[in-house]
Amino acid sequence: MHRHPHSLKSLTAVVLLAAAAFAQPVSAAEPPPLSYEDDKVAMRLVLRNQEQLAGFYLGREFGAAAVDKILETCFFAAIIYNKSYDVLWLDLDHWQFQRDELTIPRLKRDYWKEQWRAIGLPQRHQSTFGWTLLPETRDLRRDESAGGNVAIPMQPEPFTLTARFHTGPNRQGPVKTIVFEDVTCPRDVQ
């Protein structure tokens, strides 16, 4: 790193404070994560409140219009860790969101592209946003994890997420199903 080498030390205190702030974007107010674990897979959902979500993206210079688009949705993080020796397939199209027997459509990447086009979100922010989403599909190897955000339309009541994972190099192994019930969309914390 070559820019302003002499100013590095003088910046240290400020930098440490800033780094600490960014390293811990989730405050103590964060609700406990929904989690599942067995000997082959671990999965958890992280539901940050809207203030925390807004803080993350505003801190990365996203405009208010972009943050509003995110907060209009039910936006939460999922983290999956493959502990098995087999390939675990993350295919978001095999995840089902339901409430009162109603299937809730997931908001896919095309939805976000359209939102960003409508508000003219700069390409670099679109790129960053894309990397904060959970991959649409991924062949998780042993000891590999994938994490990122998933979005559905805002729900007034809790919903159920049924996450199905194919296994095996060619998706021909047993299907692993993990169900999270009573998932509540993040809302403002009063």
Partner 1 sequence: MSARRPMKLLFAMLLTLLAGPVLAAQELPAGILPLDGQAAPPLRLENLDGETWDIEQVRGRWVFVHFWASWCGPCRKEMPTIQAIHEQLDPQQMEFAVINTAESEDMVFTFLGTVAPDLNPLMDTDGLVTERWQPRGLPATYLVDPEGRLRYLALGGRPWDAAEYKSFLQHLTAE
CA dihedral sign, ordered 121, 122, 128, 133: positive
Helix axes 50-58, 64-71, angle to 10 degrees: 150
Q: What is the largest CA-CA distance in the chain?
A: 63
| 35's tokens | 């989690």
Among 2, 28, 170, 190, binds partner 1 (CB under 8 A): 2
Given a contact cutoff of 8 angstroms between Cβ atoms, the answer to whether 153 and 102 are in contact is no
> Does 8 interact with partner 1 (rule: CB under 8 A)?
yes
Among 50, 52, 98, 128, binds partner 1 (CB under 8 A): 128
How far is the CA of 126 from the CAs of 64, 106, 145, in angstroms? 14, 19, 23
Question: Minimum distance between the CB of residue 92 and partner 1, rounded to whole angstroms?
Answer: 14
> Does 3 interact with partner 1 (rule: CB under 8 A)?
yes
Helix axes 64-71, 109-119, angle to 10 degrees: 150
Among 6, 32, 123, 190, binds partner 1 (CB under 8 A): 123
Tell me the number of residues near partner 1 by CB under 8 A: 36
> Does 58 interact with partner 1 (rule: CB under 8 A)?
no
Select the span of 29-37, 101-109, 124-132, 180-188 touching partner 1 (CB under 8 A): 124-132
Q: Which residues bind partner 1 (CB under 8 A)?
A: 1-4, 8, 11-12, 15-16, 18-19, 22-23, 56, 60-61, 122-128, 130-132, 135, 138, 141-148
